[in-house]
Structure 1
Amino acid sequence: MAGNGSAPKDPNRRARRNKDVAPVRYITPARVVTQPDLPEFEVEIRPKDGEPDMVPFNWPDATRGWWDMLQHHPLVNEFFDTDWAYLLDTALIHASFWKGNLNLAGELRLREAKYGFTPEDRAKLRIFSAAAVEGESKAVLGAAKVSSARDRYGSTKRLEA
């Protein structure tokens, strides 16, 4: 028996239509922005029993590797100056995390999510790999060609036991 339940609501009477609130704006950068180097600077160390002293900040190897990895980010050619400034601040959080401040893990995760660092983050940002999309469309086309079990298993031979 078809049609269990009430009839669907008229689309014109729906409360939500899930349309985009604002149209998409496409902009071009005012200039080409390249990835800056990690800066060299000094930090103040305050010993308990002496005068404060300025010492050079040492970037952890993990943070240097993280920063180098950004040059291969799929959107790197679209980064603005503000993106690199935000990522430099994130590098400091990354360095503090790798120096043992585990309280910064949540902030680091949130900042990396804004740039699609994990597959889940990229899906939320609607960033998809062209290779994955191409592979999926090939799989769909391949599945559409198969119309029967005979087509799927036609080349297999039965072995007698």
Structure 2
Amino acid sequence: MAGRGPQPKDPSRRARGNKDPVAQTVLRFEQAEAPELPTLQVMKDGELVEHTWPARTLDWWEMWKASPQAEHFSSTDWDFLLDTAVVHARHWSGDGAAAGELRLRVAKFGATPEDRARLRMQFAQADEADGRRPEGGRSARERRGTLHALPDPKASDS
């Protein structure tokens, strides 16, 4: 049963404080505008040839530009995402080997619910929904009243 056992040790008496031995560097955040996808060039027969972005990659890029995460992207984030767009284009052009790298790269930006949970991202709507919940701290019985069983209709048929 939860709550049983000895009290936790006083944190001041613990052998490990798990403090970071290196001080954290605090950077000034500068939001960057999303760039347009540049002209894509690929090496073909020893020379650079213009290549068309797959339609799926163009849609994917627009999705990232409009995503809530984009509000927190700096210039280096957009640069990394540009490189990721090239991987995305390779994948959607039939290069199955690009799938693993693509998955790893988009996970860094919180592409899936699991990625966002790992990165400790939460949409603001969830905070708003929590504020609309009925008064917290009340039990189900207090919120709904006492429940009573109805007589079994089959029992009265005999």
Query: Shorter-chain TM-score category?
Result: 0.7 to 0.9
Distance 1:93 1:64 in 2: 13
Report the counterpart of residue 122 of structure 1 in structure 2. Answer: 116
Query: Cα deviation per residue 1:99-120 (whole Å; 9 max; x = unaligned)?
Result: 1111111111111111111111
Percent of aligned pairs sharing the same letter: 41
Seen in structure 2, the aligned counterparts of structure 1 residues 158 and 24 have a Cα distance that, compared at 3 Å, is farther
Q: Does 1:144 align with 2:114?
A: no
Q: Which sections of structure 2, spanning at least 5 residues, go unmatched?
A: 154-158
Report the counterpart of residue 104 of structure 1 in structure 2. Answer: 98
Match of 1:75, SS state, is: helix
Distance 1:61 1:14 in 2: 57
Distance 1:15 1:92 in 2: 48
Report the counterpart of residue 156 of structure 2 in structure 1. Answer: none
TM-score (norm 2): 0.74
Q: Which sections of structure 1, spanning at least 5 residues, go unmatched?
A: 47-51
Report the counterpart of residue 42 of structure 1 in structure 2. Answer: 41
Say whether the 8 Å CA contact 2:29–2:74 is kept in structure 1: no
Shift of 1:6: 5.5
TM-score (norm 1): 0.73
Given residue 11 of structure 2, which amino acid in structure 1 is its aligned partner? Answer: P
How many positions carry a matched residue from both structures? Answer: 150
Given residue 128 of structure 1, which amino acid in structure 2 is its aligned partner? Answer: Q
Given residue 13 of structure 1, which amino acid in structure 2 is its aligned partner? Answer: R
Say whether the 8 Å CA contact 2:91–2:98 is kept in structure 1: yes
Say whether the 8 Å CA contact 2:42–2:50 is kept in structure 1: yes
Given residue 39 of structure 2, which amino acid in structure 1 is its aligned partner? Answer: E
